[in-house]
Structure 1
Amino acid sequence: MTANPEPELPPLHESLTWLTPLSEARAAALIAFLTEPAPADVLDLGCGWGELLLRVLAAAPRARGRGIDSAPASISRAVQQARARGLAERVELEVVPGRDADLTPADAVICIGASQIWGPPVEEAQPLDYAAALQALRQLVRPGGRLVYGEAIWSAPPHPAATAPLSGRDDEFVTLDALVELTREAGFEVLRVDQADLDEWDVFEAGFRDRFTRWLAAHGDDDPAAPAIRDRHEQQRAAYEEDYRGVLGMAYLCLCG
């Protein structure tokens, strides 16, 4: 008996501007950091659909950019947006796992939620290897260049209910203070330390669940897959609102090489 195919959900870019909990105000601050002084080149590792990379290029009209991501749909969206914004001639967007990419140093580097490039596969549910990521990134930032490093942290002590929807491990992430220390050990100068607030997380999680709502609106309750989609929506809502809200955090570090 052939199993029913997995329903195709609407793409996340229809519900989210950023593939991370990030407000417009915080994004503007990160862009200003990366473009003052103006870079000659910008590298975005795990760029998703390229929103931050493209905005940096728009703010630095002489810069060239390169974005890599392993998701073809994300890169397809990034390419479409680069063309729509008149940036296609200044940016190279590639579908390639970060581990396999031929990388060269840049003046401005972005790495948000992509530390797993240099660590164990996500499927192994091992602690995130921040140190390996930061050491690799140190080699990709030219002397005097700038790095925006964004990564998950524990904003509060983890407890079983919070870790269960994630990897189930208390040691999956580190605290903000521990992350700052790891960046210094990797040889970076820490210029600014921020983390997403609950408003940013609420917007991000609501947008993430919105793909389920959109699918249900398009297909109706009579679709055989509707009960499973409703269950996925409720599981995601409960995991966030009842379990890891305020415990799982996202740090944004502005670093100088």
Structure 2
Amino acid sequence: MSPSFAPPHLDLTFMAPLSEERAARLVRFVADGRPGTVLDIGCGWAALLLRVLTAVPEAIGEGVDLDEVAIAHGRELADAAGLTDRVDLRVDDARDLAGGWDALICIGASQVWGAPVEDAQPLPYSAALTALRGLVNRGGRLLYGDGIWSRPPTPEAVAPLAGRDDEFLSLGEVAALAVEAGFAPIGVHEASIDEWDVFEGGYAAAYARWLAAHEPDDPEAAEVRAIAEGQRAAYFGGYRGILGLGYLELLAV
């Protein structure tokens, strides 16, 4: 039986390396299109979607994710924000969705349109962007974000990831694929090291929470310490500053 860890929403505002300043920019991009309908694919607890709906009172939204715990927390947030009647958050497969949306949010969910994660294949940017173009109306807005190589990958960086140099592309290469898929970029930028440090620390906080709540001689304590040490080694000794996350603000053309 594996250790049970606290959900990441206890220590993270967003399930991505994303500061409040950058989040405000991304929400403003989507909201400036005055969408009537907004879809968030891989929404987690829908932090960005709920902020967009707050900024655009006439909009309604849907968010889909396969994480039941995250969806449940998102519903709690929607209720607290008075948005329950304007948003549908549910466990669902994005591949079953139909088109006709005014705005889309898709951050860290490109793998939906690729091979199973355990197959360790390159991230399917083209398939994702093509599918997303089919979901959004012409003139609509897509907020797209996913992994990139900020610098050429090293053996130490790829080892704890998929183990391959071609798992990700550069930010410029992803922007070019977005154009090929039928989008025009308005903004192209990437998460900073500070944003990554906050994200990695918040994600790993679940291990610290577990260790603080259990005795040092707990039968599972050695396993948890090893998991925590492995995460620190993978980040600080491997992909920190090399694995990035690109954010693209795109218009469907």
Same fold (TM over 0.5): yes
SS in structure 2 opposite 1:251?
strand
Provide the C-alpha distance between the structure 2 equivalents of 1:208 and 1:195, rounded to a whole number of angstroms.
Answer: 19
Equivalent residues of 1:150, 1:253 under 8 A apart: yes
Provide the C-alpha distance between the structure 2 equivalents of 1:55 and 1:11, rounded to a whole number of angstroms.
Answer: 21
Normalised by the length of structure 1, the TM-score is 0.96
SS in structure 2 opposite 1:250?
strand
1:165 is matched with: 160
2:36 is matched with: 40
Query: What is the CA-CA distance between 1:38 and the residue it aligns to?
Result: 1.4
Query: What is the CA-CA distance between 1:166 and the residue it aligns to?
Result: 0.1
1:58 is matched with: 54
Equivalent residues of 1:40, 1:64 under 8 A apart: yes
Counterpart mapping for 1:138-177 below 5 A: 138-177=133-172
Provide the C-alpha distance between the structure 1 equivalents of 2:64 and 2:8, rounded to a whole number of angstroms.
Answer: 18
1:254 is matched with: 249
1:174-222: CA deviations, max 9, x gaps?
Answer: 0111111101111100100010000000000000110000011111212
AA aligned to 2:181 is A
Equivalent residues of 2:33, 2:140 under 8 A apart: no
Equivalent residues of 2:112, 2:128 under 8 A apart: yes
1:67-104: CA deviations, max 9, x gaps?
Answer: 000111111111111111110000011101222x3333
Q: Does 1:190 align with 2:192?
A: no
Equivalent residues of 1:10, 1:211 under 8 A apart: yes
1:70 is matched with: 66
SS in structure 2 opposite 1:139?
helix
1:23 is matched with: 19
Structure 1 unaligned spans of 5+ = none
AA aligned to 1:236 is Q
2:127 is matched with: 132
Q: Which runs of 4+ in 1 moved over 2 A?
A: 101-105
SS in structure 2 opposite 1:190?
strand
Equivalent residues of 2:40, 2:104 under 8 A apart: yes
Equivalent residues of 1:154, 1:248 under 8 A apart: yes
Provide the C-alpha distance between the structure 1 equivalents of 2:216 and 2:53, rounded to a whole number of angstroms.
Answer: 44
Normalised by the length of structure 2, the TM-score is 0.98
2:79 is matched with: 83
1:92 is matched with: 88
1:232 is matched with: 227
Q: Does 1:103 align with 2:104?
A: no
Q: 1:202 aligns with which of 197, 200, 204?
A: 197
AA aligned to 1:110 is I
Structure 2 unaligned spans of 5+ = none
2:117 is matched with: 122
SS in structure 1 opposite 2:141?
strand
AA aligned to 1:190 is P
Provide the C-alpha distance between the structure 2 equivalents of 1:73 and 1:34, rounded to a whole number of angstroms.
Answer: 26
1:10-44: CA deviations, max 9, x gaps?
Answer: 01000111100000000000000000131101000
Provide the C-alpha distance between the structure 2 equivalents of 1:121 and 1:256, rounded to a whole number of angstroms.
Answer: 29
Provide the C-alpha distance between the structure 2 equivalents of 1:85 and 1:71, rounded to a whole number of angstroms.
Answer: 21
Provide the C-alpha distance between the structure 1 equivalents of 2:160 and 2:241, rounded to a whole number of angstroms.
Answer: 14
Equivalent residues of 1:68, 1:95 under 8 A apart: yes
Identity of aligned residues (%): 53
1:39-58: CA deviations, max 9, x gaps?
Answer: 10100000001111111111
What's the RMSD between the two structures over aligned residues?
Answer: 0.8
Equivalent residues of 1:154, 1:249 under 8 A apart: yes
